[in-house]
Structure 1
Amino acid sequence: MSYRHGVSISEVPTSILPPVEVSAGLPVFIGRAPINLTGSSEYVNKPLLAYSYDEAVKALGYTSDFENYELCEAIKVMFQLFAVSPIVFINVLDPAVHKKTETNKTVNITAGEVILAQQGVLLDSLAVRKTSAGQPLQKNIDYAAAFNDGGQVLISVLDGGAIDASQTTLVVSYNYIDPAMVTEEDIIGGVSATTGKLTGMELINQIFPLFRLVPGQILSPGWSQSPMIAAIMKAKVQNINGLFKAITICDLDSSAEGAELYTEAPAWKENNNYTDKMQINCWPLVKLGNETYHLSTQLAGVICRADADNNDIPYVSPSNHSLQVNGAINKAGEEISLGPDQAAYLNGQGIVTALNFIGGWKAWGNRTGVFPGASDPKDSWIPVRRMFNWIGNELILTYWQKVDSPINKRLIQTVVDSFNIRLNGLTARGALLGGRVEFQSAENPITDLMNGKVRFHVYQTPPTPAEDLEFTLEFDTTYLESLFSE
């Protein structure tokens, strides 16, 4: 030790670790986007983290054709109808793969303009000629081309160019994206054997390394009614990055091949194995004005809004919270109006639905897909399951810094004391009825401690939803005595 003369200081690690907060319900949407409208392929099989509507539209494009572009539905619901953020989008539509070609199509010039009826045109592939045998005209010299508000290409004749006033037609050739070419395999994705590039749902594992945010909800509206897609989704959410857990929100098929009637939905759910504890099942579709939405997308918005209203702690059920809809329909567009008894029947089968009874249209249902096959409260209640996921993810993020530390009393006491403080704080807020962390000798045999394994036992009791309020009415004859009072 060097010679000292004066005052010196030193520091020791804080014995109480503040928790690393986890975004409880971060939604991840996998689907198709009108990427041609952006003029870029940057966000093809690449996760996009967006905090605003403008940011999402700039990167992915936007159209009201929700049937073919599910990510546009998610953009509308999350940013405009529920005003929540951030959102992660994974677009699997690839202009280099999912495209077709139109060659030498004759179009009419009207008032110096041509509007191409075809949606999805790749603007950089557009070639304009005066005749099919002619040379291509020059963009921004002979003509200008841009997308209009409807997503169609508008070709404008420029003064002084090669297109004279006598020209009544033009010949155009172009490539255009075809969303119908996207398959379930594109949504599921995989890993390229040659490049190692991830696609589709495999990109879920890149979200935390890229953004340092843990996914809370995984959705694929328009695809999750496929049992194959739903099976992959529920497998992915149980082991994100080999560590984290999330929930998946799926739609049950409301078409003629699925469950057009509410009485058919439970059997379809069971027969197609939508029965996982990490899975929330929705039926039917919903609408707002002329636009149709998947109930899963709306429920994700409800969950995010409920979390935001409760300090980003997922202990409040989304049930009995307002949807942004004015009707419910099946795939054929037939109106569906359930009464409380019919909605309760679906809830009792582990299905969340839409109910218009008191206070407008509400999400209605508290149970995960595992119910009624299993009734363990940590698995069958939506908010309880989400709290277990959330607290588990927070434990991983908070104590990762302690991995490889010496196993001694300081380590044990730091973990136990700091997370007990956290659990006490959650209890004071009402997010837990109670909780504690213990280091138990029975769970930590000497041989395991010698082998570097340390086990902590976390007890927690999130509140279950008050799903059934019962009042007993009785005629009390003693109050008749009031007739004789002075």
Structure 2
Amino acid sequence: MSIRHGVYIQEEATAVQVPKTGNSSVQVVVGTAPVNMAENPSEAVNVPILANSGTEAMAALGYSVDFKNFTLCQTMFATSNLFQVSPVVYINVLDPAKHNKELAEAEYQVNQKQAVIEKEGIILEGLTVKNSTGDTELKAGEDYSAAFDSTTGFLTITMLAGGKGAAATAIKVSGKVIDPSKVTKEDVIGAVDPSTGAETGAQVIRQVYPRLGIVPGLILAPGWSQIPEVGLALAAKAAKINGVYSAMALLDLDTAKAKKYTDTKSVKEESGYTSPFCYPLWPCDRVGEYILAKSAVAGAMIQYMASDNEDVPNQSPSNHLLGVGGQCLEDGTEVYLDQDQANTVNGYGVTTAINQNGYRLWGNYTGAYPASSDAKDIWFAVRRMFSWQGNNFIQTYFDEVDDPMNNVLVQSVVDSENIRCSAYAPKYWAGASIEYKSDDNPKTAILAGTMKFRQHIAPYTPAQEIVDIIDYDTDTLAAAVGGN
């Protein structure tokens, strides 16, 4: 048996924390959906609903191409037909029990055992179906079945064999339909019931992480965010979610007020969209005959870009194709901007679109520009990287909270972060590092259970301006023609 005699070294693997990174750009969308089409409409109101595909969202919330009344469907369309991205969290505020109106009794023909009720928004609960004389009420599941057409939203009533309506040639139908016109900005902003603690509207954003384990990356309310009170509420939520996380609110400008590109300055300022955590957008996008809020299209595109980039949000969405056919106001008036006009809009801190071999999003600034000159706040991509880094740090080291505050913990965090951050350089940022400084951690702080690290990150700014200086090379010209 051999013996060991002397001094030996054995190296242990560095104990590092495994980084926890969620999807960096998950959209949380607040608005209205035709939930009367859902299996359990009452369960789809003022709750965060996670959908891993557009089809899943449509099944959970219903779907209609009436994008003005059913605003969540804009995101369903954009994430299904323009950019295939998921997951998306939807918060529907349309409550069938509250936002409804009467469906007057009317007679409908039954052809081949089926009657089509050509009315959108029919609420199945409380629906009354009678025979043509009105003296016999038919029962769902016994005399008839009801199903919605996913394209039109119309209700088809099918007579069941052996039921009391099996031989019917006409039926009478009455009840209630949802009324999206009764939804107000207050419903979208939401509130907290002081007696029950129940949250509604945008207040439900707080529940996304506790309930679904997802940190919101983008917050939007297409069809609603052009209302200043709604937009400001979303920007405030984006700045501080659950007291610790941050995101970006995609806010539309009101095209009824900003009818031309020079109006965007005053409308943005009057709306108060000056937070570094918001991204003002103008005008709307057109896809065929459909008109969508630019926030719905931009949100889908931004999420797609991040998912295609190893979930790192370092790229600016500016100068990327939107996959739309035009730009317009909400009323359908076409908008045609050239690059010079679009640059003017950008100068106000508003993002727009230009047609350069296809419509491209055009604008790098957050709402903080031009009032602020802080690079971490005015550049959309840089602001997103700061939020991404902060959110990841919180999730990665949350398990260390309440552990003994000793050098092992300090070194573990420093080593882990420096290793993790170096893996993203130079592709995703110029570099990043973290340190623990004694000056930041005096005895009083240590006794109070507080430890501070100082982290330095250097995300790339976008190459917004590329200049080629051209001069006239007369020497080359002279040499070419034999002159002196």
Same fold (TM over 0.5): yes
Amino acid at match of 1:434: G
Superposition deviation, residue 130 in structure 1: 3.0
Distance in 2 (CA, whole Å) between partners of 1:291 and 1:383 is: 29
Give 1:195 shift.
2.8
Answer yes or no: is 1:38 the counterpart of 2:38. Answer: yes
The DSSP-based 3-state class of the residue aligned with 1:115 is strand
Match for residue 417 of structure 1? 415
Indicate the residue corresponding to 2:471 in structure 1. Answer: 474
CA distance in 1: counterparts of 2:13 and 2:94, whole angstroms? 49
- The equivalent of 1:24 in structure 2 is 24
Counterpart mapping for 1:279-290 below 5 A: 279-290=278-289
Does residue 342 (structure 1) correspond to residue 341 (structure 2)? The answer is yes
CA distance in 2, matches of 1:364, 1:44: 35
CA contact under 8 A between 1:39 and 1:122: conserved in structure 2?
Answer: no
Q: What residue identity is the alignment partner of 1:469?
A: I
Aligned partner letter, 2:90: F
**2:446 aligned counterpart, secondary structure:** helix
Q: Could you tell me which of 364, 375, 395 is aligned with 2:362?
A: 364
Structure 1 residues 401, 162: closer, same or farther in 2, change over 3 A? Answer: closer
Q: 1:443·1:455 contact (CA, 8 Å) conserved in 2?
A: yes
* Partner amino acid, structure 1, of 2:243: G
Contact 2:31 2:70 in 1 (8 A): yes
Residue 450 in structure 1 maps to residue 451 in structure 2? no
Q: Secondary structure at the match of 2:449?
A: coil
Q: 1:238-249 counterparts in 2 under 5 A?
A: 238-249=239-250
Task: Tell me the TM-score normalised to structure 2 length.
Answer: 0.92
Change over 3 Å in CA distance of 1:459–1:136 after alignment to 2: same
Q: Report the identity percentage.
A: 39
Shift of residue 477, structure 1, vs aligned partner: 2.3
Q: Return the TM-score normalized by structure 1.
A: 0.91
Count of matched residue positions in the alignment of Structure 1 and Structure 2: 469
RMSD after superposition: 2.1
Are residues 1:250 and 2:247 paired? no
Alpha-carbon separation, structure 1, partners of 2:164 and 2:92: 39
2:232 is matched with which residue?
Answer: 231
Question: Aligned runs of 1:327-338 on 2, under 5 Å?
Answer: 327-338=326-337
**Equivalent residue number for residue 173 of structure 2:** 172
CA distance in 2, matches of 1:143, 1:401: 55
Measure how far apart 1:79 and its partner are.
Answer: 2.6
In structure 2, the partner of 1:407 is 405
Whether the 8 Å contact between 1:351 and 1:367 is mirrored in structure 2 is: yes
- 2:5 match: none
Which residue number in structure 2 is paired with residue 391 of structure 1?
389
Cα distance change on mapping 1:367 and 1:386 into 2, 3 Å: same
Is the contact made by 1:22 and 1:390 (CA closer than 8 Å) also made in structure 2? no
Q: Secondary structure at the residue paired with 1:237?
A: helix
Q: Return the alpha-carbon distance in structure 1 between the equivalents of residues 121 and 192 of structure 2.
A: 27
- Structure 2 unaligned residues grouped into runs of 5+: 1-11
Q: Which residue pairs with 1:309 in the alignment?
A: 308
Shift of 1:348: 1.0
Q: State yes or no: 1:130 paired with 2:127.
A: no
> 1:435 is paired with a residue of what secondary structure?
strand
Q: How is 1:56-205 mapped onto 2 (pairs within 5 angstroms)?
A: 56-109=57-110, 113-130=114-131, 134-139=135-140, 142-148=143-149, 149-157=151-159, 162=164, 169-205=170-206
CA distance in 1, matches of 2:469, 2:343: 21
- 1:204-223 correspondence runs (5 A): 204-223=205-224
In structure 1, what is the Cα distance between the partners aligned to 2:170 and 2:448? 80
| Conservation of the 8 A alpha-carbon contact between 1:79 and 1:85 | no
Q: Counterparts of 1:154 and 1:26 in 2: how far apart (Å)?
A: 36
User: How far, CA to CA, are the matches of 1:139 and 1:411 in structure 2?
Assistant: 64
Q: 368-377 or 168-177: which moved more?
A: 168-177
Amino acid at match of 2:349: G
Is the contact between residue 39 and residue 123 of structure 1 (CA under 8 Å) also seen in structure 2?
no
Counterpart of 1:452, as a letter, is G
Match for 2:377 among 376, 379, 392? Answer: 379
* 1:130–1:137 contact (8 Å) kept in structure 2: yes
- State the shift of 1:435 in Å: 1.5
- For residues 260-279 of structure 1, the C-alpha deviation after alignment (integer angstroms, 9 at most, x for no partner) is 11111111101221111000
Q: Deviation of residue 120 (structure 1)?
A: 0.5
The 1-side partners of 2:393 and 2:166 are apart by 71
Contact 2:32 2:71 in 1 (8 A): yes
1:435 aligns with 2:432: yes
Distance in 2 (alpha carbons) for counterparts of 1:46 and 1:132? 42
Cα distance in 2 between the residues matched to 1:286 and 1:145? 36
Residue 168 of structure 1: CA displacement?
A: 6.3
Moved more, 246-255 or 153-162: 153-162
CA distance 1:152–1:441, shift in 2 (3 Å) = same
Cα-to-partner distance string for 1:37-73 (whole Å, 9 max, x where unaligned): 1231222211111111221111111111111111111
Residues 205-226 of structure 1, C-alpha deviation per residue, up to 9 Å, x if partnerless?
1111122211000000011001
Q: Does the alignment pair 1:461 with 2:458?
A: yes
